[in-house]
Amino acid sequence: MSRILRTTTATLGVLLLTCAVASCASSDDASKSAGSSGAKATTTRPNDPADAAAAYVGLTKAAAIARAEREQRPWRIGREDDEQFMLTQDFVENRVTFELDDGKVTKATLG
């Protein structure tokens, strides 16, 4: 009985290891092998949160708030100059959080 148990355990271990290694393959690896020209394919993310948030950097406080409201995007101010505000830790995917210095947005993050 113990030989059967050891064999089964070893087989399951190998199977799990194989699945773990296979799941680590990235989509970049697949696109490299799929291309015949050898040129690296570039991927763009049209709704990249970093790009959407970066659009607010440099705006005045009023302009940033007006833009967020025009886009129907929830907003909040996390820091203004030296004053740090308390924020909730709930995740709202499209909410923008502003950090302001001298009345201008210096950092904006989504989420």
Sheet holding 96-101, edge to edge: 83-84, 75-80, 96-101, 104-110
> What are the phi and psi torsion angles at 99 (to 5°)?
-120, 130
Q: What is the pLDDT of residue 104?
A: 98
Q: Which amino acid is at 101?
A: D
| Residue 110 confidence (pLDDT) above 50 | yes
pLDDT > 90: percent of the chain: 52
Q: What is the pLDDT of residue 35?
A: 43
Answer with the residue of higher pLDDT: 85 or 33.
85
Cα 30 from Cα 39, distance rounded (Å): 13
Torsion of CA 56, 57, 58, 64, to 10 degrees: 30
Q: What is the pLDDT of residue 101?
A: 98
- Note the pTM of the prediction, 2 decimals: 0.57
| Residue 44 confidence (pLDDT) above 70 | no
